[in-house]
Chains A and B, each alone.
Chain A
């Protein structure tokens, strides 16, 4: 029985997949804290679709998919910002138009011209197979780089996330912090694309952070709980993916969802309302006192 549980670790592809899933989950959990607290969950969802278009275009014209997808993702983010500023279209509508158009272009290019690298299904839903050493190195660099940057700039990122207007007048370069987070987000999505998949990566950005918020009122604790939880869910999801013969992104997201439901049942709806900011704050109303004349 125990042998069956651990036999799979004799296969290099599975070990690579497990390492990649844990790192991808942890990376998404870490950056997801900022994404959810800034109300940017939809940007995560949109950028993953946009990056898919860049990936397809890059393979079609024969350049590095990572470079092509990365540049495409950043250009999409800039286009969203530009459209939002210059027209009456809201940010959510701009994200919807630009990123879904990019995704559709990717599907069209792949269908018409074919592509190299991961299969269409693997890009959409993630795959346990074909995680290369290069993928692991990219993921490792993205994770370590993100941890270092977030640790060094922790207080500035916290201030810029909580209160950007006051942070700006207090000496924090808020525009630079915002741009930095967009770069880290794009890099995170890019490096986890083949493990979790385009359509599911948004869930791994959001769910660990939401669960962490339900468990703590501290920003620093939320960061490490979300990171650890994302990594554990990634590992468990990848493990189950092998048994159930289901795409890894799907099982990783389902494990995240089960954890969310479990924490919701254990802590009650009150924690969820706090997370969403839906619980009203009632000030005590006291009798008036004399004022300075």
Chain B
């Protein structure tokens, strides 16, 4: 596994208040990592440092030459009434290449094959709001893939979606990762998403822990990250987080 992006002693903040402190993170080819933490823990800021849209105030960011990084925003931040079709949305990724309003045959072919790969080829002419939650996520992943990235970053890809959509997105990302794409996503969903990933980084301004779910989803780490006592049970070999107060209630019942 070779390194795509390496953060060394990175600190970042807004208006004098620190969001990230002395963060060391290495993302390699084919890696599949989830960044977990509560709101305000610096997850999105870390994603933006990896993406290169914000510069760290201290520390260094090293990217391997020629590394293409694509980004999938939160679905909740999208203007769904905007007048674009699925094809037009996916084609946006090629917007910076030519001074022409029309797409080339090659661009159209690339969009069609990407939509086909993600199983939404028949939806290309539909308006973006006519899609289900899972289809919307697939569309934005298609837009990211059309740029042929080595690293895909997703901000809370399962935030606000139902259980079936969460499973659909997770399986899709797993398939892409198996094809060699490195993936980094943020999530605060420990049971629904984080515990299913091969590698996690627990963040609370600093990297509190890094490793497999079995190493990261443990009471000591969770208390440091979320500031509350949580217990962890094992279910089918995966950690399941429960609120310690819930256990007390169940025990009392």
Which A positions have Cβ atoms within 8 angstroms of B? 37, 151-156, 158-159, 161-163, 165-172, 213, 216-220, 222, 274-277, 279, 281, 283-293
Is residue B71 contacting chain A, with contact meaning CB distance below 8 A? yes
Interface residues in B72-118 by Cβ distance below 8 A to A read 73, 78-85, 88-89, 91-101
Contacts of B167 in A (CB 8 A): 288-291
By beta carbon, the residue of chain A nearest B140 is: A166
How far is B132's CA from A219's CA once the two chains are assembled, in angstroms? 21
Q: How far is the CA of A290 from the CA of B237 in the complex (A)?
A: 14
Q: Are A277 and B84 in contact (CB under 8 A)?
A: no
The residues of B with any CB-CB pair to A shorter than 8 Å are 51-53, 69-71, 73, 78-85, 88-89, 91-101, 127, 129, 132-133, 143, 147, 161-165, 167, 170-171, 174, 196, 236-238
Which residues of chain B come closer than 8 Å to A285, judged between CB atoms? 162-164
B69 lies within 8 A of A162 (CB): no
Instruction: List 27 A–B pairs whose Cβ atoms lie within 8 Å, in order of A's numbering.
Output: A37-B82, A37-B83, A152-B101, A153-B99, A155-B92, A155-B101, A161-B82, A162-B92, A165-B71, A166-B71, A166-B73, A169-B70, A170-B70, A171-B97, A216-B83, A218-B83, A219-B82, A219-B88, A275-B81, A276-B81, A283-B161, A283-B165, A284-B164, A288-B164, A289-B164, A291-B196, A293-B238
Query: Which residues of A lie under 8 Å from residue B100 when comparing CB positions?
Result: 152, 154-155
- Asked whether A291 and B101 contact (CB < 8 A) given A169-B71, A281-B80, the answer is no
* Residue in A37, A162, A276 whose Cβ sees the most chain B Cβ within 10 Å: A162
Q: For the complex formed, measure the closest distance between the CB of B38 and the CB atoms of chain A, giving whole angstroms.
A: 22
B92 touches A170 (CB 8 A): yes
User: Is A213 in contact with B83, judged by CB distance below 8 angstroms?
Assistant: yes
Question: In the complex, are the beta carbons of B80 and A169 less than 8 A apart?
Answer: no
In the complex, residue of chain A having the shortest beta-carbon distance to the beta carbon of B160: A283
Contact A287 B164, CB 8 Å, known A166-B73, A216-B83, A219-B88: yes
* A289 CA / B170 CA spacing, docked (Å): 11
Distance in angstroms from A208 CB to nearest chain B CB is 14
B80, B88, B99, B174: the one contacting A277 at CB < 8 Å is B80
**Residues on the B chain within 8 Å of A290, using CB:** 167
In the bound complex, residues from chain A placing their C-beta under 8 Å from that of B88 are: 158, 218-219
- Residue from B82, B85, B92, B236 in contact with A167 in the complex, judged by beta carbons closer than 8 Å: B92
Q: Which residue of A lies closest to B193 (CB)?
A: A291
Q: Chain B residue with minimal CB distance to A285?
A: B162
Q: Could you say which residues of chain B place their CB within 8 Å of the CB of A163?
A: 73, 78, 92
